[in-house]
Amino acid sequence: MLAALEQLWRHHLQAHWRYYILVAGVIAAGIAGGTLAAKMLPTGQVVELQARLGEAFYGLAGGVNYQSLANFAVLRNLQAVGLVLFLGLTVIGLPFILAFLFFRGFALGFTVGFLMLSRPNDGLLIVLLGLVPPSLVFLPGLVVAGVVALAFSLWLVKGRSTERVSLSSALVVYCGVGFGTLALAFFAGLLDAYVAPWLLRLCY
């Protein structure tokens, strides 16, 4: 079973490695853009965001509603991955998939950049404890979702007349992979809601 899955994964990588480079590059460009945007924030907005960040840490010290955080984090992640997968089912989804992946990278880069700049003493620690654990699970799921969505959308654009794979079979595979990426998004949301706040409370 494991050998078959490993062989299937290798075949998938060989067939779609260009898509992985494209998706990873778009997300990386978004992260770089978000980091640059954080450095260019006007002083007034920096002060306002620092105040909100301080309020968030004050609330963290006073206690955390883990259930509420979990509902928000899981729903946010499922919506993000679900949107990418939905766009992959449409012929016109290609540019929107890339734009959304860039936006998610931008949001992550902006958050990391702002934390590092506004809190030079402990910004790196906050990033490592609060952002890295869920991102290590969510980003791979988002990348895989982006790859299969791009590949499927391009397959629809090029037409299926010369393909030996039927639409129904392709949809079954697409839904199977999509379910796996949604599971990763769900688990990342739980990490974001339960593990990250717990790690931060250990240090703050």
The tens place of each residue's pLDDT in the chain, 204 residues long, gives 667 667 777 887 888 889 999 999 999 999 999 999 999 998 888 888 888 887 777 767 667 788 899 999 999 999 999 999 999 998 888 999 999 999 999 999 999 999 998 888 888 999 999 999 999 999 999 999 999 999 999 888 876 555 567 788 889 989 999 999 999 999 999 999 999 988 888 776
What does the domain layout of the chain look like in residue ranges? 16-203
pLDDT at 91: 82
Report pLDDT for 159.
65
pLDDT at residue 162, rounded to an integer: 53
Q: What is the pLDDT of residue 195?
A: 92
pLDDT of 112 reads: 95
Dist CA 103 CA 52 (whole Å): 22
